[in-house]
């Protein structure tokens, strides 16, 4: 290191003042790197390495008959018709950074390796700024836009709050974790558009090594982009393909020629000369196959124009049957000839023009999910870079397209998403895939829904910057205190001390506040119950932005504790609303059910379901509503359609959720709830019981886009005599779930 005295003096002064060193000193102190490096504000080599346990919330397996069990997967199944051995597919709800860290460092890593390792990762990261978490939800013939939750808004803020810097920081760390999880012979496909493609290419070069770059695929997602007058339409996305090493799976993709790929030529006799150079109609992906045909309509025999082409007489006859050989209005003859290559197909290039994005709706796949991709796109990627039985992962799964295609193609899968609605959408989609595979006589695997439980306190509030441990702890405590005081003020409760779980008091009830960035977990609630029993507390309120899936809110009643669970509304962050006392906290949903016993069988009837959500200020919406327009709002547990008359400006209100069942999107029954204990593997590799049970999804009814009906009484299930606990899970139209456990005597 050759530093001049003035440079040493400047570096010393900057360090004493606690200021960052200019880049020139970085190179003087640490030397030049020989390769290009991507640098952004806040770049660090630190990668999340927390190990949080996965909580198994639900196990879903389409029932199998004994004949089906005998036919396939005998070693994986027992006579109950449930898959009990081998790999079970994973649907995981939570922050994928923590999930990836837990998969990499926790006990599930061995389970992944025993399944052959992750051979393929496809991700469609949130590059579409501003359209990540709002969802359109069907209410009868209308649609309601669900706004993102606070947790989702925080994720959006962390991803885009500082523009490109925060996006790069978000995706870089996750790609580092994905790289460590990918098998040595695995591939990763990263989907993006022109806004972030340049950043992602450099990030992937740095993490996966530029020598492992395989291709940049250009996908023409639409040919009907919006008309622009100062630029070219943005109709293309990009998919970067990297491998972890020079050993990887590649199955060349060839496309069989069908009617859409065969050249079709229009020949007319419009100017009387009889011989014409005609314009063919052909799929643009195969433009290299274009040729020009000369045809004499005055009686000369037609000949193939070039070697390797032939006339398809059968298809010509089909054209006549389909009336595609016809006369024009002015009686001028038009004739269509079909030409096809004699070879079976042609290897695709990296320009994919034959999978339109609008095929999602045309094929009936559409789920109104803003980032949903066509199944045919994922089918091509999965077939190209994996084989049957391989493990495929998507850590930004959205509506579950990757998982659905992987299941259909006989691959194992892992899917994760931060959005509860995305997990629920994927659950319904995958159940439908299971049902169809069963109907067709094909194999399928069970899947389980997991949460990340026991969130550590340091994960609740982000600490930005490179601070010493003591300073981080002080800042963490200060942020937590500020957050809790804000919530208590909005809830009109006073702060208190001296409790492990409770931070406030409102009249005769103590108040516990959940974390801002993560859902309230089973463990959080159990800690509250334990302190209530220990100190004789009988009444308390629990406030949270979100609750983990599968929580049975009636647990506390077994111990004589009156716990009320409330939803913290987004309005708590509006200072004026807090000062005016306008913030309303709503109870979590509750469900009422009735068992119907017939001899040695039981069915469950849903009898009531209530929600208390609030998303809009209806008076403010009415003031902003334009003449002749409509707006659907959510207020006080009702979805209301507002319409403003174009002539009179008179506003009418129509309640769209007129029945309690209108709120239900899905419900399921576990007829023997305590039959399967939830086990978590400890550091010694031993399975420990958490005290909870896994919901075995034995029957379900749910709405789809094609069928909006919902059965409110389950099928009968034959069970053994005696007392048993039956669990019912209800999921509302927003993807929030409520679980109720009842005791039934057969």
Domain-by-domain residue ranges, the chain?
Answer: 54-218+231-253+348-452, 256-347, 468-547+554-587, 590-745
Residue 551: predicted pLDDT: 77
Predicted confidence (pLDDT) at residue 274 exceeds the cutoff of 80: no
Q: Which residue has the higher pLDDT, 545 or 471?
A: 545
**pLDDT band of 453, cuts 50, 70, 90:** low
Give pLDDT tens digits for 428-444.
999 999 999 888 888 88
User: How far is it, in rounded angstroms, from Cα 372 to Cα 665?
Assistant: 20
What's the average model confidence in pLDDT over 417-426? 86
User: How far is it, in rounded angstroms, from Cα 376 to Cα 358?
Assistant: 12
The CB-side HSE value for 60 (13 A sphere, CA atoms) comes to 25
Predicted confidence (pLDDT) at residue 609 exceeds the cutoff of 80: yes
Query: What mean pLDDT value characterizes the chain?
Result: 76
- The candidate with the shortest Cα–Cα distance to 695, out of 545, 548, 542, 510, is 548
334 CB neighbour count, 10 Å cutoff:
14
User: How far is it, in rounded angstroms, from Cα 365 to Cα 360?
Assistant: 5
What's the average model confidence in pLDDT over 618-638? 81
Q: Domain 468-547+554-587 belongs to what topology?
A: Trna Endonuclease; Chain: A, domain 1 (3.40.1350)
Q: Which residue has the higher pLDDT, 11 or 191?
A: 191
Residue 503: predicted pLDDT: 93
Predicted confidence (pLDDT) at residue 113 exceeds the cutoff of 70: yes
Highest mean pLDDT among 10-19, 240-249, 434-443, 583-592: 240-249
Q: Which residue has the higher pLDDT, 178 or 300?
A: 178
User: How far is it, in rounded angstroms, from Cα 541 to Cα 335?
Assistant: 78
Predicted confidence (pLDDT) at residue 464 exceeds the cutoff of 70: no
Is-above-0.85 flag for pTM? no
Predicted confidence (pLDDT) at residue 66 exceeds the cutoff of 60: no
Answer whether 257's CB lies under 8 Å from 340's CB.
yes
Residue 702: predicted pLDDT: 92
Q: Which residue has the higher pLDDT, 567 or 669?
A: 669
- The candidate with the shortest Cα–Cα distance to 446, out of 634, 629, 695, 273, is 695
Q: Which residue has the higher pLDDT, 244 or 63?
A: 244
Predicted confidence (pLDDT) at residue 282 exceeds the cutoff of 60: no
Instruction: Name the least confident of 181-190, 414-423, 665-674, 731-740.
Output: 731-740
The CB-side HSE value for 725 (13 A sphere, CA atoms) comes to 13
What's the average model confidence in pLDDT over 14-25? 76
Provide, rounded to the nearest whole percent, the portion of the chain with pLDDT above 70.
68
What's the average model confidence in pLDDT over 422-427? 90
Predicted confidence (pLDDT) at residue 365 exceeds the cutoff of 90: no
What's the average model confidence in pLDDT over 471-495? 81
Q: Which residue has the higher pLDDT, 235 or 114?
A: 114
Residue 414: predicted pLDDT: 98
Highest mean pLDDT among 24-33, 222-231, 454-463, 717-726: 717-726
180 CB neighbour count, 10 Å cutoff:
16
Taking CA atoms, 337 is separated from 183, 296, 297, 310, 324, in Å, by 50, 13, 12, 11, 10
- The candidate with the shortest Cα–Cα distance to 678, out of 52, 57, 53, 99, is 57
Instruction: Name the least confident of 114-128, 243-257, 491-505.
Output: 243-257
Predicted confidence (pLDDT) at residue 352 exceeds the cutoff of 70: yes
Answer whether 262's CB lies under 8 Å from 338's CB.
yes
User: How far is it, in rounded angstroms, from Cα 501 to Cα 532?
Assistant: 9
What's the average model confidence in pLDDT over 272-293? 33
What's the average model confidence in pLDDT over 134-147? 63
**pLDDT band of 693, cuts 50, 70, 90:** confident
Q: Which residue has the higher pLDDT, 205 or 54?
A: 205
Residue 349: predicted pLDDT: 85
What's the average model confidence in pLDDT over 269-297? 34
Q: Determine the CATH number of domain 54-218+231-253+348-452.
A: 3.40.50.150
Residue 75: predicted pLDDT: 39
Residue 194: predicted pLDDT: 84
What's the average model confidence in pLDDT over 462-486? 67
User: How far is it, in rounded angstroms, from Cα 532 to Cα 629?
Assistant: 52
**pLDDT band of 149, cuts 50, 70, 90:** low
User: How far is it, in rounded angstroms, from Cα 722 to Cα 707?
Assistant: 37
Edge-to-edge, what's the strand order for the sheet holding 717-718?
Answer: 590-598, 601-610, 717-718
Q: Which residue has the higher pLDDT, 244 or 338?
A: 244
Angle between helix axes 23-30 and 5-16 (nearest 10 degrees) is: 110
Answer whether 512's CB lies under 8 Å from 536's CB.
no
Instruction: Name the least confident of 130-134, 291-295, 341-345, 677-681.
Output: 291-295
Provide, rounded to the nearest whole percent, the portion of the chain with pLDDT above 90.
29
The region, left, alpha or beta by phi > 0 then psi within -120 to 50, assigned to residue 745 is beta
Cα Rg of the chain, angstroms = 30
**pLDDT band of 35, cuts 50, 70, 90:** low
Residue 588: predicted pLDDT: 81
Predicted confidence (pLDDT) at residue 289 exceeds the cutoff of 60: no
Q: Which residue has the higher pLDDT, 280 or 127?
A: 127
DSSP bridge partners of 640: 633, 655
Predicted confidence (pLDDT) at residue 657 exceeds the cutoff of 60: yes
Residue 646: predicted pLDDT: 86
User: How far is it, in rounded angstroms, from Cα 167 to Cα 169?
Assistant: 5
Angle between helix axes 164-181 and 96-105 (nearest 10 degrees) is: 20
Chain mean position to CA 238: 20
Residue 701: predicted pLDDT: 93
Q: Which residue has the higher pLDDT, 526 or 78?
A: 526
Q: Which residue has the higher pLDDT, 365 or 17?
A: 17
What's the average model confidence in pLDDT over 715-742? 88
**pLDDT band of 14, cuts 50, 70, 90:** confident
Residue 291: predicted pLDDT: 29
Highest mean pLDDT among 6-20, 60-74, 205-219: 205-219
Residue 337: predicted pLDDT: 39
Predicted confidence (pLDDT) at residue 304 exceeds the cutoff of 50: no
């Amino acid at each position: 290191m050759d530093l001049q005295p003035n440079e040493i003096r400047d570096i010393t002064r900057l360090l004493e003042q606690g200021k960052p060193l200019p880049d020139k000193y970085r190179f003087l102190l640490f030397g030049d790197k020989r390769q290009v490096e991507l640098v952004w504000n806040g770049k660090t080599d630190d990668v999340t390495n927390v190990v949080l346990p996965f909580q198994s919330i639900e196990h879903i397996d389409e029932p199998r008959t004994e004949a089906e069990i005998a036919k396939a997967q005998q070693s994986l199944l027992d006579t109950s018709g449930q898959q009990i051995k081998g790999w079970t597919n994973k649907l995981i709800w939570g922050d994928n950074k923590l999930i990836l860290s837990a998969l990499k460092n926790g006990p599930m890593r061995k389970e992944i390796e025993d399944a052959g390792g992750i051979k393929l990762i496809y991700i469609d990261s949130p590059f579409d700024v501003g359209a990540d978490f709002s969802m359109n939800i069907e209410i009868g013939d209308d649609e309601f836009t669900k706004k993102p939750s606070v947790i989702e808004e925080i994720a959006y803020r962390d991803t885009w709050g500082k523009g490109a810097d925060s996006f790069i920081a978000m995706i870089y760390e996750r790609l580092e974790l994905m790289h460590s999880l990918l098998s040595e012979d695995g591939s990763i496909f990263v989907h993006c558009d022109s806004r972030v493609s340049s950043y992602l290419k450099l990030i992937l070069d740095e993490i996966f090594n530029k020598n492992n770059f395989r291709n940049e695929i250009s996908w023409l997602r639409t040919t009907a982009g919006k008309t622009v007058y100062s630029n070219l339409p943005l109709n293309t996305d990009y998919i970067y393909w990297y491998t972890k090493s020079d050993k990887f799976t590649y199955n060349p993709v060839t496309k069989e020629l069908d009617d859409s790929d065969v050249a079709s030529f229009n020949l007319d006799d419009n100017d009387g000369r009889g011989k014409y150079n005609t314009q063919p109609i052909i799929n643009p992906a195969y433009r290299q196959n274009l040729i020009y045909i000369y045809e004499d309509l005055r009686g000369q025999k037609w000949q193939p124009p070039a070697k390797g082409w032939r006339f398809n007489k059968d298809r010509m006859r089909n054209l006549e049957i389909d009336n595609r050989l016809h006369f024009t209005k002015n009686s001028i003859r038009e004739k269509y000839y079909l030409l096809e290559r004699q070879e079976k197909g042609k290897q695709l290039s990296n320009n994919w023009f034959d999978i339109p994005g609008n095929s999602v709706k045309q094929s009936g796949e559409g789920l109104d999910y803003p980032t949903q991709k066509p199944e045919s796109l994922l089918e091509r990627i999965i077939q190209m870079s994996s084989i049957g039985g391989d493990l495929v992962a998507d850590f930004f799964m959205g509506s579950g397209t990757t998982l659905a295609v992987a299941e259909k193609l006989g691959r194992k899968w892992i899917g994760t998403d931060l959005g509860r609605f995305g997990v629920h959408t994927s659950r319904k989609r995958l159940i439908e895939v299971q049902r169809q595979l069963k109907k067709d006589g094909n194999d399928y695997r069970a899947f389980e829904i997991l949460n990340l439980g026991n969130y550590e306190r340091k994960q609740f509030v982000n600490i930005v910057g490179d601070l010493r441990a003591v300073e981080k702890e002080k800042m963490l405590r200060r942020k937590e205190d500020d957050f809790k005081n804000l919530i208590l003020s909005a809830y009109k409760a006073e702060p208190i001390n001296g409790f492990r779980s409770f931070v406030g008091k409102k009249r005769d009830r103590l108040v516990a506040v959940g974390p801002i960035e993560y859902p309230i977990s089973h463990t959080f609630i159990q800690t509250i119950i334990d302190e209530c029993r220990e100190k004789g507390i009988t009444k308390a309120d629990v406030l949270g932005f979100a609750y983990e899936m599968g929580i049975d809110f009636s647990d506390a009643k077994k111990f004589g504790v009156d716990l009320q669970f409330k939803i913290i509304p987004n309005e708590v962050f509006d200072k004026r609303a807090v000062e005016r006392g306008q913030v309303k906290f709503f109870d979590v949903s509750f469900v009422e059910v009735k068992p119907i016993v017939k001899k040695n069988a039981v069915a469950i009837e849903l009898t009531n379901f209530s929600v208390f959500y609030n998303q809009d200020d209806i008076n403010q919406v009415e003031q902003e509503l334009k003449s002749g327009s409509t707006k659907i709002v959510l207020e006080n547990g009702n979805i209301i359609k507002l319409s403003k008359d174009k002539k009179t400006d008179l506003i009418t209100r129509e309640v769209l959720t007129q029945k309690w069942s209108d709120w239900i999107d899905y419900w399921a029954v576990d007829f023997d709830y305590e039959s399967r204990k939830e086990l978590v593997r400890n550091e010694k590799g031993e399975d420990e019981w958490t005290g909870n049970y896994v919901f075995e999804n034995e029957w379900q009814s749910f709405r789809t886009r094609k069928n909006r009906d919902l059965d409110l009484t389950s099928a009968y299930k034959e069970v053994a005599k005696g007392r048993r606990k039956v669990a019912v899970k209800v999921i509302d139209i927003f993807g929030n779930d409520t679980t109720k456990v009842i005791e039934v005597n057969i």
